[in-house]
Chain A
Amino acid sequence: DDEEERILGPEELPEHACAYCGIHNPSCVVRCNFPSCKKWFCNSRGNTSGSHIVNHLVRAKHKEVCLHHDSPLGETILECYNCTCRNVFVLGFIPAKTESVVVLLCRDPCANSSALKDMNWDLTQWQPLIDDRSFLGWLVKVPSEQEQLRARQISAQQINKLEELWKSNPEATLEDLNQPGADDEPQPVMLRYEDAYSYQNIYGPLVNLEAEYDKKMKESQTQENVTIRWDQGLNKKRIAWFTPNSGQELRLVPGDELCLRHSGDATHKTWECVGHVIRIQNEEVAMELRSNANCPTDLIHGYSVDFVWKSTSFDRMQVAMRTFAMNDKAMTSYLYHKLLGHEIADQVLKIKPPKKISPPGLPDLNESQKHSVKSVLQKPLSLIQGPPGTGKTVTSAAIVYHLVQQGQGQVLVCAPSNVAVDQLTEKIHQTGLKVVRLCAKSREAVSSPVEFLTLHHQVRHLDTPKLAELHKIQQLKDEQGELSAKDEKRYRALKRAGEYEILKAAQVICCTCVGGGDPRLSKFKFRQVLIDEATQATEPECLIPVVLGAKQLILVGDHCQLGPVIMCKKAARAGLSQSLFERLVMLEKPFSIKPIRLQVQYRMHPCLSEWPSNTFYEGTLQNGIAMAERATTNLKFPWPVVEKPMFFYNCVGYEEISASGTSYLNRAEATMCETIVTSFLKTGVNPNQIGVITPYEGQRSYVISWMRRNGSLRSELYDDIEVASVDSFQGREKDFIILSCVRSNEHQGIGFLNDPRRLNVALTRARYGLVVLGNPKVLSKQPLWNNLLCHFKANCCLVEGPLNNLKQSMVQFQKPRKYFPELYQRYNLPPSLLEQ
């Protein structure tokens, strides 16, 4: 059950791959026979004037070669038939005069031997083995154009450098040429890549940097002197509840592996056990232990908790990139070239367009949703942009429904986050398709809204004759806790077989992008892949589900909202934080792909969607809901303009560095936030309808504790209000949102708030009403915020004073500073913003 995941061996090129370009067709390669070399090379020229094998022989001054054993002549050292001279530069073929026979002879002296003239050989027809700087094509085949395009592109300069490197290090590879030194900035990402090898050369080091950072950060979270509250799960496994020591920000998520230790005392031996986080509730962490054996449940104090870092997700990204480069079955060559940004003729898939677009079990789609479903089905690669509240998930589910109807095998559906995968799984299930949700083994004990669709649930509860024996042995395991070695082996085999059967019977398999690399999927091939929230996945992460044989790929996301979260600044600066979706949009024509945009939003009161639509979506966002459906007129909340449930509150406070020293807080905004929350609660709004968003962790924890201590209502009411970062609110909504901007200083700028995408996300979470708390004087220096403030002012919604007596604010805006136009151009912001 707890068997360690075995990372599948990374995709490797066979030994006989060309040491320059990686081509490994046995008919196209020869081995250099120099004793200390023995490297393989192909007979293609790439963009040099000699074939790779000839390039090598000349530059290294090696002269002997051997054919591959799977080539037509078999494993053969090329040598003179008569004198066994092996210098390929003097060898050539002569045909017989009458028979169709050829023989390899050195030109001097053998082929010029007078004795030969009288025999049946035609000396006049001697053909050198190497002609025009490449081997005779009928002896060593020239790889096809297709093969050459799929290979590593190597220039004469690189060949030259590599040959130099081999003189000191014969094991060196082309990758070693590009390795940055330990202190160097990594190579930044590009828009287009010559081949998947150079792609891997850029992204491989970036993934390593992020992995190192992640490891360091997670392993530094050791907790000493922890008190445990013991509990037991329904599966009879021990659960240890503990509250991490305060003052230390712990970054834990369900599924993380921990190690719980106790050094023992007079009556207890030293003990330790690993387990997984299964829940986090009110800052308390629940850890399910892997084994109940010798668990000292009578001890509660003095434990230590270590974080066990796993490289699994990073390993899977590296494997995916290698597969991308080396396995030509990883995806169609169309997708291969398209993802690298190559020019390639458009392709249309021959499919019958469905008569009815809206699938069963889901609400009818609107016109823009229908349009995107229709156009996606015929294209091998498409992007769907779903602005906030436009029904991205329903549209994705509809696409998956029609992909299945095409009968091209199982469809793989992924998203970077578990939450998104669960949501989509549920919608796909509603269309009546047979869907299986594959969870990481470490998350099997984490509760999920689609539990009944998960593989681990089905393998336990599906009642089929094949699973009967597994269920029996599972029962035994549950009762006894452990199995004999023999039974355990049998149990694992049965479980694997059961899982395979269930996966095979599914029409759709849903998992996270990283889950696409699960060994349980290694026998599967997926022609059609849909990735939701694709703009929040890094490129290597996105690649994991794609290299399982994709022919048709659909990326759904919104590059005008936040991208993937990268912890390592070096890696983020080099571009790891840019998604594949975004790169495909940013490519210059004709390589770029225009996303199909969903255009009707069903979330926000029309007055709340107006500015984001104009600013981020060229005004194309239409409202699918009427003002009446979002009316708050019966609410006795003091909106400055009754029919416009929004305002910007001029809050003149000061930002302070938070206790951790790494974040900011703003007391004035926290105080105002509590006043507004209390007012909402008093008018009858439920705590779970309200969300407080702030970009800073310091302000987040300050607002929570301030409301708890100073709120005029019962403190439990405030505890139920979600206070979170902008980033963690992405993809979600609340009826009422209070945004606390925090930054208020004369000279330091506004940090996080600079990112237009973060502003877009922050402003588009509310369904009914929005309050922004900030310092207009400071924020207005930035053109985008300046524009937003003008919008509030024009709508008479820029206010100040006590909440029960709000007045129009007459605050003067500052002239915006010059800003980075390229950042705006990336998000297609209107030119008016660039000129300011």
Chain B
Amino acid sequence: DDTVEIKPKASEYMACPEDDEFTKQYEQMLSEDREQRKTDTAPRPLMNMSIPMNLIRQTKAPSSTSPPPPPQEGNEEVAFKVLLKAKGKQKAIDLPIPQDSKLASQHLKIKSKQAQYQE
């Protein structure tokens, strides 16, 4: 009974010159940095970009038998793994990504198409 209704207020956007200045700087930074990378940075040789299936499967096996995590507030999550290099060593860490995120929804769409192909 401690929970209470609160009228939203904190996240209401308030326009002001300081914020306009920020958005301008942001756009500028984004485009400058990306342009600079395109022109200044020579393509690098790809270093071991293959998916380490051993790492993926290793940790994936148990999760396929266990039930998926319960849906959260109507938005189910997809069990992803993030591939990282920690101190030069490859690691795959579990990270649930909401189904309605751009990344997860696109990925699911493609996977279901692939599944149709295979059938």
Chain A residues near B (Cβ < 8 Å) = 44-50, 54-55, 58-59, 61, 63, 72-74, 76, 81-83, 85, 87, 89-90, 93, 95-104, 106-110, 113, 115-116, 119-122, 125, 127, 130-131, 133, 136-139, 145-146, 148-149, 151, 153, 155-157, 159-160, 332-334, 337, 342-345, 347, 349-350, 551
Cβ contacts A to B, 15 pairs, < 8 Å: A44-B10, A44-B11, A47-B12, A72-B93, A100-B79, A107-B34, A119-B50, A120-B51, A121-B49, A127-B103, A133-B26, A136-B103, A137-B98, A337-B6, A344-B6
- Is A45 touching B25 in the complex (CB atoms < 8 A)? no
Cα A63 to Cα B25 with chains together (Å): 13
> Could you say which of A82, A87, A125, A138 contacts B46, with CB atoms under 8 Å apart?
A82
Kindly list the 8 A-B residue pairs having the minimum CB-CB distance in the complex, ordered from nearest.
A148-B10, A156-B19, A345-B5, A156-B18, A108-B37, A103-B83, A47-B14, A109-B43
> Could you say which of B21, B30, B46, B111 contacts A115, with CB atoms under 8 Å apart?
B46
- Is B2 touching A334 in the complex (CB atoms < 8 A)? yes
Task: Write the chain A residue with the least CB distance to B32.
Answer: A89
> Could you say which of A47, A55, A108 contacts B13, with CB atoms under 8 Å apart?
A47
> Known contacts being A116-B49, A138-B95, is A49 close to B19, with CB within 8 Å?
yes
- Asked if B9 CB lies within 8 Å of chain A CBs, one says yes
Within 18-58 of B, Cβ neighbours of A (below 8 Å) are at 18-19, 21-23, 25-26, 29-30, 33-34, 37-38, 41-47, 49-51, 53, 56
Task: Write the chain B residue with the least CB distance to A345.
Answer: B5
- Asked if B85 CB lies within 8 Å of chain A CBs, one says yes
Interface size class of B (residues with CB under 8 A): 35 or more
In the complex, how many angstroms separate the beta carbon of A332 from the nearest chain B beta carbon?
5
- Point out the residues of chain B lying under 8 angstroms from A149, CB to CB: 6, 9-10
For the residues of A in contact with B, the DSSP-based class is loop
Contacts between chains A and B (CB distance < 8 A), count? 205
- Point out the residues of chain B lying under 8 angstroms from A337, CB to CB: 4, 6
- Point out the residues of chain B lying under 8 angstroms from A63, CB to CB: 33
- Is B26 touching A58 in the complex (CB atoms < 8 A)? yes
- Is B80 touching A101 in the complex (CB atoms < 8 A)? yes
Interface core residue of B98, B103, B104 (most chain A CB under 10 Å) = B103
> Could you say which of B1, B16, B18, B82 contacts A102, with CB atoms under 8 Å apart?
B82
- Is A46 touching B10 in the complex (CB atoms < 8 A)? yes
Task: Write the chain B residue with the least CB distance to A92.
Answer: B103
- Is A82 touching B47 in the complex (CB atoms < 8 A)? yes
- Asked if B86 CB lies within 8 Å of chain A CBs, one says yes
In the complex, how many angstroms separate the beta carbon of B23 from the nearest chain A beta carbon?
6
Cα A159 to Cα B19 with chains together (Å): 9
Chain B residues near A (Cβ < 8 Å) = 1-2, 4-14, 16, 18-19, 21-23, 25-26, 29-30, 33-34, 37-38, 41-47, 49-51, 53, 56, 78-86, 92-98, 101-104, 106-107, 110-111, 114
Cα A166 to Cα B115 with chains together (Å): 54
> Known contacts being A107-B34, A138-B97, is A350 close to B1, with CB within 8 Å?
yes
Cα A564 to Cα B77 with chains together (Å): 56
In the complex, how many angstroms separate the beta carbon of A198 from the nearest chain B beta carbon?
13
Task: Write the chain A residue with the least CB distance to B33.
Answer: A89
- Point out the residues of chain A lying under 8 angstroms from B23, CB to CB: 49-50, 133
- Is A93 touching B37 in the complex (CB atoms < 8 A)? no
> Could you say which of B38, B49, B78 contacts A100, with CB atoms under 8 Å apart?
B78
Contacts beyond the supplied A156-B16, A345-B6: 8 A-B pairs with Cβ under 8 Å? A59-B22, A72-B93, A82-B47, A99-B51, A101-B83, A103-B82, A116-B46, A149-B6
- Point out the residues of chain B lying under 8 angstroms from A136, CB to CB: 101, 103
In the complex, how many angstroms separate the beta carbon of A329 from the nearest chain B beta carbon?
11
- Is A156 touching B14 in the complex (CB atoms < 8 A)? yes
- Is A73 touching B84 in the complex (CB atoms < 8 A)? yes
Cα A96 to Cα B56 with chains together (Å): 12
Cα A50 to Cα B26 with chains together (Å): 9
For the residues of B in contact with A, the DSSP-based class is mixed
Cα A47 to Cα B30 with chains together (Å): 22
- Is B34 touching A89 in the complex (CB atoms < 8 A)? yes
Cα A159 to Cα B92 with chains together (Å): 37
Task: Write the chain A residue with the least CB distance to B77.
Answer: A138
Cα A54 to Cα B22 with chains together (Å): 10
Interface core residue of A59, A108, A551 (most chain B CB under 10 Å) = A108
- Is A160 touching B18 in the complex (CB atoms < 8 A)? yes
Task: Write the chain B residue with the least CB distance to A146.
Answer: B6
- Is B13 touching A50 in the complex (CB atoms < 8 A)? no
> Could you say which of A82, A127, A344, A551 contacts B5, with CB atoms under 8 Å apart?
A344
Task: Write the chain A residue with the least CB distance to B15.
Answer: A49
Cα A77 to Cα B107 with chains together (Å): 25
- Point out the residues of chain A lying under 8 angstroms from B7, CB to CB: 343-345
Cα A332 to Cα B4 with chains together (Å): 9
Cα A87 to Cα B11 with chains together (Å): 27
- Is A347 touching B4 in the complex (CB atoms < 8 A)? yes
- Point out the residues of chain A lying under 8 angstroms from B37, CB to CB: 85, 87, 90, 106-109
Cα A345 to Cα B93 with chains together (Å): 42
Cα A104 to Cα B93 with chains together (Å): 13
Cα A345 to Cα B33 with chains together (Å): 47
- Point out the residues of chain A lying under 8 angstroms from B94, CB to CB: 72
Cα A83 to Cα B80 with chains together (Å): 23
- Point out the residues of chain B lying under 8 angstroms from A97, CB to CB: 110, 114
- Point out the residues of chain B lying under 8 angstroms from A74, CB to CB: 93
Cα A146 to Cα B8 with chains together (Å): 9
In the complex, how many angstroms separate the beta carbon of A432 from the nearest chain B beta carbon?
29
- Point out the residues of chain A lying under 8 angstroms from B83, CB to CB: 81, 101-103
Task: Write the chain A residue with the least CB distance to B101.
Answer: A138
In the complex, how many angstroms separate the beta carbon of B11 from the nearest chain A beta carbon?
6
> Could you say which of A72, A96, A130, A551 contacts B95, with CB atoms under 8 Å apart?
A72
Cα A61 to Cα B105 with chains together (Å): 33
Task: Write the chain B residue with the least CB distance to A73.
Answer: B93
- Point out the residues of chain A lying under 8 angstroms from B6, CB to CB: 145-146, 149, 333, 337, 342, 344-345
In the complex, how many angstroms separate the beta carbon of B39 from the nearest chain A beta carbon?
9
In the complex, how many angstroms separate the beta carbon of A364 from the nearest chain B beta carbon?
32
In the complex, how many angstroms separate the beta carbon of A282 from the nearest chain B beta carbon?
54
- Point out the residues of chain A lying under 8 angstroms from B85, CB to CB: 81
- Is A82 touching B2 in the complex (CB atoms < 8 A)? no
- Is A95 touching B4 in the complex (CB atoms < 8 A)? no
> Could you say which of B19, B82, B92, B93 contacts A48, with CB atoms under 8 Å apart?
B19
In the complex, how many angstroms separate the beta carbon of A684 from the nearest chain B beta carbon?
60
- Is A50 touching B22 in the complex (CB atoms < 8 A)? yes
> Known contacts being A82-B49, A89-B34, A345-B5, is A58 close to B29, with CB within 8 Å?
yes
> Known contacts being A46-B11, A73-B84, A137-B101, is A109 close to B42, with CB within 8 Å?
yes
Task: Write the chain A residue with the least CB distance to B12.
Answer: A47
> Known contacts being A46-B11, A149-B10, is A54 close to B102, with CB within 8 Å?
no
Task: Write the chain A residue with the least CB distance to B86.
Answer: A76
> Known contacts being A82-B47, A89-B33, A108-B37, is A59 close to B103, with CB within 8 Å?
no
Cα A145 to Cα B12 with chains together (Å): 11
Interface core residue of A50, A99, A137 (most chain B CB under 10 Å) = A99
Cα A139 to Cα B95 with chains together (Å): 8
- Is B26 touching A54 in the complex (CB atoms < 8 A)? yes
In the complex, how many angstroms separate the beta carbon of A86 from the nearest chain B beta carbon?
12
- Point out the residues of chain A lying under 8 angstroms from B22, CB to CB: 48-50, 55, 58-59, 156, 160
Cα A54 to Cα B25 with chains together (Å): 11
Cα A213 to Cα B110 with chains together (Å): 73
Cα A515 to Cα B23 with chains together (Å): 50
Task: Write the chain A residue with the least CB distance to B31.
Answer: A89
In the complex, how many angstroms separate the beta carbon of B35 from the nearest chain A beta carbon?
9
Cα A422 to Cα B42 with chains together (Å): 81
> Known contacts being A121-B49, A345-B4, is A99 close to B14, with CB within 8 Å?
no
Cα A271 to Cα B99 with chains together (Å): 79
Cα A85 to Cα B26 with chains together (Å): 19
- Point out the residues of chain B lying under 8 angstroms from A344, CB to CB: 4-7
In the complex, how many angstroms separate the beta carbon of A405 from the nearest chain B beta carbon?
18
> Known contacts being A74-B93, A97-B110, is A45 close to B84, with CB within 8 Å?
no
- Is A100 touching B50 in the complex (CB atoms < 8 A)? no
- Is A100 touching B44 in the complex (CB atoms < 8 A)? no
In the complex, how many angstroms separate the beta carbon of A501 from the nearest chain B beta carbon?
30
